[in-house]
Structure 1
């Protein structure tokens, strides 16, 4: 199973390979795109589209969040942050 850290690395590789924005200046756009994808997931669900399509939109949200987190703090270990946050909640 892929960890958050592995997923973050894979998204970074995809960003570089595709020539997408890869600087801190792109953080607002990445967060905005995450919201857009979340809206697309909600729209997909509301319209009764196949569940797989809705899930795919949610994965797009995760891609943008992982990419933004990588640019915000490249040293943050998302697996550790997740476990701490889970214990806190």
Structure 2
């Protein structure tokens, strides 16, 4: 995902964060900036977890990067929901 550049991070992160927030039922609580932040942090989290399992995340392409961000964002929102005690769907 590092090869996408800052604009790629923002666009893919924003989309992934928005879709993850819809999936987890937190969309009403988040704005566009928080969706981008959740998606970008989710991408970092997803990439870290995939590397732990031996998956090469650098050569995955844009769709793989999006799915990594989406999966990481869902995991992030789930963890935040558990820590804060909020119901996530």
Q: TM-score range by the shorter chain?
A: 0.3 to 0.5
| TM-score of the superposed pair, with normalisation by structure 1 | 0.38
Choose 1 or 2 for highest CA Rg: 1
| TM-score of the superposed pair, with normalisation by structure 2 | 0.38
